[in-house]
């Protein structure tokens, strides 16, 4: 059985009823954390994640909130603290795409992506920091006051035509994450980003669900396989645990080498 590195801690994972968030919630639960499984739609999928964590001997609860709505985020954190006493780990994962050519992009497409992917991370991180500061250090639980993990993307580095709203949201997450790491490092709050490449989830189904699409995707990935949510879950456990205590303000790319730009392997 895996060592329970997060025993006695509580993690809140946004958008945890699908894809990467689901994988991260399950990994954190397996590592011993109580898990708040946030969802906005599809409570059945959220309850299935809760059931899976409980079946493995963990503790979890599903809480509905739209991360882009201030009142709902505040209420979610209040419910979580009521349930588990505090929050030690926030995984800011919820996100979506609304793709369009830039000159055809509507303000609604732009605003929705910024509201959920970027403002949602601001609202959740602010409540998490408030809770870390309110609670104070607890001996023997973690050497950090709290940990925030932002789900960014290789697109905080790689520009992405046809997805300007999404790439902009991820570029913004990079500066949000680093500013928080700088502002709260002295109070022992660690803030880092996970930057996935292509992970097999519903958000990018069209990039992997036919052999043609999959083969085309592989031309971008030196390691020659698509990622899976468990890959991200293992990294999230590491970043949430004291094993990574000297890591803060970092963007960690987990992408099978996508950001070494394979197209240049033969001279460009
Ligand atoms: N899959 C990839 O290849 C990939 C690569 C890089 C980054 N990411 C990032 O990983 C994160 C998770 O994406 P995924 O691939 O698991 O996609 P997904 O569509 O499976 O999951 C996204 C989750 O966010 C939730 N969500 C959307 N709007 C929300 C809101 N307003 N409030 C609360 N939850 C909301 C969805 O309901 C869903 O649970 C996103 O931030 C995405 O940008 C994914």
pLDDT digits (tens, 9 = 90+) for 136-179: 999 999 999 999 999 999 999 999 999 999 999 999 999 999 99
**Nearest atom (ligand 1) to Cα of 45:** 39
| 140 in any annotated domain | yes
**Phi–psi pair at 95, nearest 5 degrees:** -170, 165
* Higher per-residue confidence, 46 vs 263: 46
Distance CA 239, CA 262 (A): 27
Strand partners, 172: none
**What is the model's pLDDT at position 19?**
98
- What is the structure's pLDDT at 264? 84
Token pair for 172:
């913004």
Q: Domain limits at 85?
A: 10-253
Q: Give the span between the Cα atoms of 168 and 126, in whole angstroms.
A: 21
Q: Is 75 a domain residue? A: yes
How many structural domains are present in the chain?
A: 1
5: in domain: no
Q: Quick one: pLDDT at residue 101?
A: 98
Give the separation between CA 62 and CA 12, rounded to whole angstroms. Answer: 10
Q: What is the pLDDT of residues 240-258, one digit of tens each?
A: 999 999 999 999 999 999 9
246 is catalytic: no
Residue 168 within any structural domain of the chain:
yes
Q: What separation in Å is there between the alpha carbon of 212 and the centre of ligand 1?
A: 24
Q: Which atom of ligand 1 is nearest to the CA of 232?
A: 10
Distance in Å, CA 21 to ligand 1 centroid:
7
């Amino acid at each position: 059985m895996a060592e329970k590195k997060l025993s006695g801690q509580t993690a809140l994972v946004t958008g945890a009823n699908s894809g990467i968030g689901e994988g991260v919630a399950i990994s954190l639960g397996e590592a011993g954390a109580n898990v708040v499984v946030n969802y906005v739609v599809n409570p059945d999928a959220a309850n299935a994640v809760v059931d899976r964590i409980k079946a493995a001997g963990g503790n979890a609860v599903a809480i509905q909130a739209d991360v882009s709505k201030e009142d709902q985020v505040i209420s979610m954190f209040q419910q979580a603290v009521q349930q588990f006493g505090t929050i030690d780990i926030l995984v800011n994962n919820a996100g979506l795409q609304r793709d369009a050519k830039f000159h055809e992009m509507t303000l609604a497409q732009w605003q929705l992506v910024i509201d959920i992917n970027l403002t949602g991370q601001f609202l959740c991180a602010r409540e998490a920091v408030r809770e870390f500061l309110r609670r104070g250090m607890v001996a023997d639980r973690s050497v950090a006051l709290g940990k925030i993990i932002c789900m960014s993307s290789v697109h905080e580095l790689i520009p992405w035509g046809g997805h300007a709203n999404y790439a902009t949201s991820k570029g913004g997450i990079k500066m949000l994450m680093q500013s928080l790491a700088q502002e709260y490092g002295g109070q022992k709050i660690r803030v880092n980003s996970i930057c996935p490449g292509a992970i097999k989830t519903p958000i990018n189904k069209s990039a992997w669900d036919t052999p043609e699409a999959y083969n085309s995707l592989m031309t971008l990935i030196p390691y020659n396989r698509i990622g899976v949510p468990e890959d991200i879950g293992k990294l999230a456990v590491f970043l949430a645990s004291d094993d990574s205590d000297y890591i803060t303000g970092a963007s960690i790319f987990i992408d099978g080498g996508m950001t070494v730009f394979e197209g240049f392997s033969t001279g460009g």
